Amino acid sequence: MFSKNNEEKKLDWMYKGPTSGIDREDYLLGRSIDKSLEQLNAAEKQAQLPINPPKNHVEHECIPPSIRDFKKMQLGEQVDLAQKLQEDPLFAIRKQEEETRLRLLQNPVQLKKLHINANFTVHVCNLRSNLILSVRLSNRVVKSEMAAEIKPATKSTNDKFCTTKKPALLAKLEGCNDDINAAVLIPGEDGIISVCDDKTVRVWLKRDSGQYWPSICQYMPSGATSMFYTRETKQLFIGQENGTVSEFTLASDFNRMMPVREYLAHQARVTDIHFALNCEWVLSIGRDKVFSYHCTQTGRQIGEHTAEAWCTALQFDSQTKHAFVGDYSGQITMLKLDNNGASIITTLKGHSGSVRTLAWDPEKQMLFSGSFDQSVIVWDIGGQQGTAYELQGHHNKVSALCYLGGSRQLVSAGEDGVIVFWDMTKQRKETPEWVESDTCQLCSRPFFWNIRAMMDQRQLGLRQHHCRHCGKAVCDRCSTARLPIPIMGFEFNVRVCEPCHAVLQDIERPSLATFHDAKHSVVAMNLDETRKRIVTVGQDRLIKIWDISALL
């Protein structure tokens, strides 16, 4: 304690000045310790600012001196208002605008333009006011009609839906946690097999309650992307996301799946599979642009073919051993298969979008292809004449095709949620090739790329169109008519030229297809012709079973 007091005394000189008026606690707490210095600073500030400025005072060089000099204001001297106005920056702008207006009034050409613009503005304002008034009146009329009567809702954009004969919805299957890629009906059974991106293969059987419940839920190593089921041997082939094709055998009661063999066929997603029982070949395509086929007895690969783009659709004629591979570029490659490999026969080109689905008529040797370009093309392979005609009945991508050999009907479905039944017993006409021309073939007016004719005729070029009936190159003025041509596959109104319209309008043109609403966007479809059932898979992850007996 004694040593501590001695140390404090030794440091006292640091806190004592000449007047010894410094408080030690104030110094340690950061307070002011020199009162005389503060008083001196306050006196100097008071001497420099004898006038108290207003609250909104801003010291800046841009403020005119007439309003910055507070001393003159305090002494009561009069301010020169004229000089003060000239110092205002808006004064020069107003003066410049007045000079511009004066020059405009002295120029007769500019006055005429100003007069025209004023008239146009008044006209637009009048139109706008009339439009607002008409909208208000129409709203009042609509409100009064709604108060008096509740009218039914407008019909769908597709007014061709058949109301008398249509598919009957039997059941809806739900419960998948991811996109469903395919579903097939088990022939002769009340059952369905489905594959899904959630790696599951489900076998749905109808219970006594009338509901479908999975009897098998098999998990695959990767997403199940495609499948093929054979009724005779109960063989089930599953394509996977990792490129593997897995072979299973189903039990007779459909409660168990026995693995048989795996085929390392692809390096990417398997998009379609087909099994040829008479040849014992399993054919597959994938996103690695490869078509491959293996022998199911030995498991070895027999042959393969590399396409130019993703392979997206597959069909096989077991009698002639011809395979048809549709790809993402819109081409269909026809291959001849044997035990030594695959050889290219020809390439079918007609679609402007990727080929999504294929169907085959073994009796008439006709191939059907559905594409993202919203069209279906019928290829007459057996005729060997290169005949092909289009079927236009969808407003979105065509994603599924099935052919009914007994009634000779083609069933197509697409992402527009429409199922179309096409009558293939009628004789149809091939669509004509479009003619290319530099001028309209009816009025001889030039198209926009014909610069020389545009200069000679002194007129702007027109856009080229084509008549769907004759294929001539025509302008818009010469092809204003629209009508359906079912015999050529056009079920909706299409563009026709004036001469063709004059011929077709007097001819009876009955529809050769029936349209039905599936209530969901269809991505896959399968049918059982013997039991008159059809199953559709939608983007809403629902599987719907339909009864089509009324349409056959």
Give the pLDDT confidence of 290-302 residue by residue, as tens digits.
Answer: 999 999 999 999 9
CA distance 513 to 421: 5
Mean per-residue pLDDT, 166-172: 91
Do the beta carbons of residue 366 and residue 389 sit within 8 Å?
Answer: no
| Residue 79 confidence (pLDDT) | 52
* In the chain, % of residues over pLDDT 90: 50
Residue 264 phi, psi (nearest 5) = -85, 75
| Residue 175 confidence (pLDDT) | 82
Residue 142 phi, psi (nearest 5) = -65, -40
Do the beta carbons of residue 174 and residue 135 sit within 8 Å?
Answer: no
Q: Which helix (H) or strand (E) holds 83?
A: helix 81-86
CA distance 519 to 167: 12
Mean per-residue pLDDT, 297-311: 93
CA distance 33 to 41: 14
State the average pLDDT for the chain.
81
Mean per-residue pLDDT, 487-508: 91
Residue 120 pLDDT > 80: no
Out of 4-8, 106-110, 136-140, 192-196, pick the least confident. 136-140
The model's pTM: 0.69
- Backbone torsion region of residue 470, taken as left when φ is above 0, otherwise alpha when ψ lies between -120 and 50, otherwise beta: alpha
Mean per-residue pLDDT, 64-76: 49
Residue 511 pLDDT > 60: yes
Residue 71 pLDDT > 60: no
Q: How far apart are the first and last CA of the chain?
A: 116
Residue 67 pLDDT > 60: no
More confident residue, 152 or 304: 304
Place of tokens 């997603």: 269
| Residue 133 confidence (pLDDT) | 38
Residue 411 pLDDT > 80: yes
Mean per-residue pLDDT, 5-27: 56
CA distance 206 to 171: 10
Crossing angle of helices 108-148/89-105, nearest 10°? 100
- Which range of 76-80, 122-126, 372-376, 449-453 scores highest in mean pLDDT? It is 372-376
Do the beta carbons of residue 259 and residue 246 sit within 8 Å?
Answer: yes
List all residues 6 or more positions away from 248 whose beta carbon is below 8 Å from its beta carbon. Answer: 218, 235, 236, 237, 238, 257, 258, 259, 260
Beta-sheet strands, E only, within 381-521: 388-391, 398-404, 409-414, 418-423, 465-466, 473-474, 481-485, 490-496, 513-517
pLDDT digits (tens, 9 = 90+) for 74-117: 444 455 656 655 666 667 777 777 887 777 677 766 666 665 55
Name the DSSP letter for residue 439: B
| Residue 361 confidence (pLDDT) | 93
The Cα-based distances of 383 to 325, 336, 364, 366, 537 in angstroms read 20, 17, 9, 9, 34
| Residue 182 confidence (pLDDT) | 94
